[in-house]
Amino acid sequence: MITSSKSVSFLVTSFLVLLVVVSVIPFWLLFVSSFTSESYLIHNGYSLFPQQFSLAAYEYLWGVADSIGRAYLMSVIIAAIGVSANLVLTILFAYPLSRKDLPGRDAISFFLFFTMLFNGGLVPTYLVYTNFFHVKDTLAGMIVPNLMMNAFFVIVMRSYFTSNILDEVLEAARIDGANEVQILTLIVLPLSKPIISTIGLMALLVYWNNWTNGIYFLTTRTDLYGIQNYLNAVINKASFLQSQMATMMSPMDIPNVSVRMAIAVIAVLPLLIAYPFFQRSFVKGITLGSVKG
């Protein structure tokens, strides 16, 4: 029996190690390719080990360092405002839905779930945001459309409140004279730090990686571009230069593929740094928040 248990443990551990390796390889390949010469990538493709070391891609990006710094700053501002607003709206929506005595609770939950299945479509959504909310070429255009609140986040947080905040604790607070605002801020939120961290991290990923809002809602104010939109513009510029100068010099002299790899490294680096600080709360929040719906 002991031998069997050890064998199962070994197999599970080996499988998990394999998953880790499979997950890490793409990042390693990305990193190595960003330091590989353009000619090697064009002729031989990607390699797991450094070949023909080159800093051409990063030298190209260094030439636009000021603009990249501004785009990073805009991404930080957009993410900070967006994540804060997302958490506030998610909490204010999820907490009432977690209370069984809320009038119309089932109907509201149905409409919330309905939005996960159907939406108004791209064109009507664009017209509503630009004609009625006037977010075009504004900072709000990078924060509000499709990002301010997510139905999935609300459902996860509601499930956490329902599963982990005991009704007896809330009733005791009411007996002591606490109102709903005091109950939420002084009791519910301190007990919900894991799920708040989890939703905050997920919202951060959404805002940091979002680039569609910049394409749809920023037509002239490119100074409001976040890092994803700006780096996408850099990629397009490199591709354009490569196509226009193809008759004057070899495409290998203009970094394109390696620039894409370097851009991806720059874009993903802050998230890789931030994730370990949220990992424990992230895993705990997801586990406890998925006990029941």
* Structural domains in the chain, sorted by start: 60-289 (1.10.3720.10)
pLDDT score of 292: 44
pLDDT score of 264: 80
Gap between the Cα atoms of 154 and 82, Å rounded: 15
pLDDT in tens, 166-176: 888 888 888 88
Give yes or no for a contact between 74 and 224, defined as CB atoms under 8 angstroms apart: yes
pLDDT score of 290: 47
pLDDT score of 77: 92
pLDDT score of 84: 92
For the chain, how big is the Rg over CA atoms in Å?
24
Query: Which among 66, 62, 37 has a CA at the least distance from the CA of 51?
Result: 37
pLDDT in tens, 44-101: 777 787 778 888 888 877 877 788 888 888 999 999 999 999 999 999 999 999 888 8
Low-confidence ranges of the chain (pLDDT < 70): 1-4, 238-256, 278-293
pLDDT over 70 for what percent of the chain? 86
pLDDT score of 283: 57
Neighbouring C-beta atoms of residue 240, cutoff 10 Å: 11
Q: Three-state secondary structure along 142-163? A: HHCCCCCCCHHHHHHHHHHHHH
Return the residue matching tokens 């390949």: 29
The SS3 assignment for 53 reads strand
pLDDT in tens, 223-232: 888 888 888 8
pTM of the model: 0.79
